[in-house]
Every structure is written in structure tokens, then in C-alpha cells.
């Protein structure tokens, strides 16, 4: 009840405008931002206040006009509330967009509209993963040898163990740098209908 009253109190007289969904590239990694604006373009919205936030735009996923745009944005933000990257009331100056929409940032593609994440891996990527699997096997062997040698020669065993672990670390880092072939998130029917309705008019840049 309180949430409904608060939403009614905050609702603008004219809820018409643009719903946008954008992938940002920041020094803290990629984030997705879901928002509402009356500006005529995403660049204009992000450039508001001369903060330079427009330079963070990596991929515009949705920018569509709706007469109920504010309501749509609020419904989606409420539904995905627990997935906010920094919390609903976050104003952390060490994090991106402090005071400029930081609470609307998400670490993951909550709407499932970033097609690049769900594409089947290319032959080049598959080959790269095969090579990494071989490295993982070599890393396991080095660690095993290191453990066997530990009772006899600590220095040599440490060399094998560190070498094996470094192989695992580089593989993990590589996968974190760009994973494809993920599964799209599934939403309740009402939310999925809303997502579909805004993505049908999406303008991908």
C-alpha cells in the first residue's frame, strides 16, 4: 500500500516520454541502465548536467516513446528491485552515475535484450575454449606433481603449484572477459509482455 501511495505521489503530471535500456561501459565494468526521460535521444539524456556520462554508452538496446513511459519504467524497476547493482537509494561517489541514476544500474542484462550475450559461440571462440581446457588439464597435472614433491623438495613443488594455479587464473579471467551463449532470463507473463512491448520499437545503435 505504501509503495502505491509513494508511486502515486511521485508520478509526473505527464508520464509520456521515452523508456530506455542501455549497456554502459564503465571503469567498474559493464552495467545496464533502465530509465525514463523526456529528452529526445539517449545521448541527450546521458549528457544532461555536462557530466560526460554519454561517453559511457556502449550499446543502446531500447529507446522507445510511450504515453505511459514513466509507469512502465517504475513497474520494471519495482520488479527488478533486488537486482539493482548498488541498491535503490545508492549515492556512492566511488561508483558510476552517483546522483545521476546510479540506483537504476544493473550488473546483468535483466531484460534479456542484449543479443550479443546469447549468440552461439563462434568457431574461433570454441577453439579458444578447447585450448583453455587443455591448459586446465596441464594446470591440474602441475599441481598434482607439486603436491607429490612437497614432502621431498618444497621449493620445486611450490613452483609446480604456482604454475598450475596461474593457468587456472588466466582461464577464469578470459571467461569473465566475454562469455557468450548464455541463457536469456525468464520473466512472469505480465513482465515479459511489457518487455516485448518496449523492445518491439527498439532502436539499437
9-53 pLDDT tens trace: 789 899 999 999 999 999 999 999 999 999 999 999 999 888 899
44-102 pLDDT per residue, tens: 999 988 889 999 999 999 999 999 999 999 999 999 999 999 999 999 999 999 999 99
The proportion of the chain whose per-residue pLDDT surpasses 70, expressed as a percent, equals 70
The proportion of the chain whose per-residue pLDDT surpasses 90, expressed as a percent, equals 56
Please tell me the predicted confidence (pLDDT) of residue 85. 96
Domain extents for the chain?
2-117+182-199, 123-177
- φ, ψ for residue 23, nearest 5 deg: -95, 125
Does 111 or 9 have the greater pLDDT score?
A: 111
Give yes or no for a contact between 24 and 52, defined as CB atoms under 8 angstroms apart.
Answer: no
Q: Looking at 43-52, 97-106, 120-129, 178-187, which range is the least confident one?
A: 120-129
Confidence at 133, pLDDT banded by 50, 70, 90: low
Q: Looking at 19-28, 88-97, 112-121, 190-199, which range is the least confident one?
A: 112-121
Nearest to 34, CA basis, from 197, 195, 205, 203: 195
Give me Rg for the CA atoms of the chain: 23
CA atoms of 196 and 54, how far apart (whole Å): 26
Pairing of strands 105-106, 57-66: unpaired
Q: Is the pLDDT of residue 204 over 70?
A: no
Does 153 or 20 have the greater pLDDT score?
A: 20
Give yes or no for a contact between 118 and 48, defined as CB atoms under 8 angstroms apart.
Answer: no
Q: Mean pLDDT over all residues of the chain? A: 82
CA atoms of 8 and 140, how far apart (whole Å): 59
pTM for the whole thing? Answer: 0.71
Please tell me the predicted confidence (pLDDT) of residue 131. 74
Pairing of strands 105-106, 17-26: unpaired
* Ordered strands of the 105-106 beta sheet: 57-66, 17-26, 29-37, 105-106
Residue 12's contacts (CB-CB under 8 Å, 6 or more residues apart) are: 70
Give yes or no for a contact between 129 and 121, defined as CB atoms under 8 angstroms apart.
Answer: yes
Amino acid at each position: 500500500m505504501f509503495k502505491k501511495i509513494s508511486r502515486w505521489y511521485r508520478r509526473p503530471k505527464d508520464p509520456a516520454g521515452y523508456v530506455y535500456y542501455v549497456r554502459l561501459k564503465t571503469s567498474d565494468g559493464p552495467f545496464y541502465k533502465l530509465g525514463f526521460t523526456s529528452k529526445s535521444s539517449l545521448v541527450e539524456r546521458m549528457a544532461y548536467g555536462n557530466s560526460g556520462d554519454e561517453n559511457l554508452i556502449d550499446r543502446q538496446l531500447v529507446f522507445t516513446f510511450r504515453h505511459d513511459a514513466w509507469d512502465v519504467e517504475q513497474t520494471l524497476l519495482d520488479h527488478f528491485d533486488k537486482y539493482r547493482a548498488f541498491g535503490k537509494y545508492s549515492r556512492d561517489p566511488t561508483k558510476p552515475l552517483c546522483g545521476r541514476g546510479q540506483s537504476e544500474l544493473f550488473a546483468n542484462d535483466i531484460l534479456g535484450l542484449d543479443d550479443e550475450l546469447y549468440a552461439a559461440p563462434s568457431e574461433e571462440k570454441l577453439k579458444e575454449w578447447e585450448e583453455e581446457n587443455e591448459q586446465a588439464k596441464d594446470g591440474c597435472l602441475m599441481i598434482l606433481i607439486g603436491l607429490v614433491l612437497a614432502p621431498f623438495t618444497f621449493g620445486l613443488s611450490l613452483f609446480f603449484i604456482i604454475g598450475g594455479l596461474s593457468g587456472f587464473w588466466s582461464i577464469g579471467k578470459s571467461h569473465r572477459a566475454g562469455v557468450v551463449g548464455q541463457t536469456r532470463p525468464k520473466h512472469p507473463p505480465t513482465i515479459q509482455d511489457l518487455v516485448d512491448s518496449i523492445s518491439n520499437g527498439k532502436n539499437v545503435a
